[in-house]
Amino acid sequence: MARSAYYESELALLVESQAAREFLVKRTEDGQRWQLAARRGLNWVPIRSKRESPRTWASLDTLEKFTRSLGIMAFQVES
């Protein structure tokens, strides 16, 4: 069964255990915000919060602060 999304807390555990090592940041469909996904096999699984799926950020700066706080030091960006 394909995973629909990872919660932020799950992502933190995946990063800590090095089970997730590749990350992709891309614009939302409307082009106004950014979303984060982690690679699982051949698929990209989006990150979600308790209130929002997928979780989005208004700027790359705030997204970078979030990823750094989890220990993610690099990610690919698609615009």
The average confidence (pLDDT) of the chain is 93
What's the pTM value of the predicted model, to 2 decimals?
A: 0.90
Q: Taking the CA of residue 70 as centre, how many other CA atoms within 13 Å lie in the half-sphere pointing to its CB?
A: 25
pLDDT in tens, 42-55: 999 999 998 888 99
From CA 45, how far away is CA 59, in angstroms rounded?
A: 20
Find how far residue 40's CA is from the centre of its chain. Answer: 12
Alpha helices in the chain (DSSP H): 8-16, 60-70
Under CATH, what is the fold of the domain 6-78?
3.30.720
The DSSP bridge pattern shows strands 23-27 and 34-40 to be: antiparallel
pLDDT value at residue 79: 81
Identify whether the C-beta of residue 3 lies closer than 8 Å to the C-beta of residue 45: yes
What 3-state class would DSSP assign to 50?
Answer: coil
Over residues 12-41, mean pLDDT: 95
Query: Which backbone phi and psi does 6 adopt, to 5 degrees?
Result: -105, 135
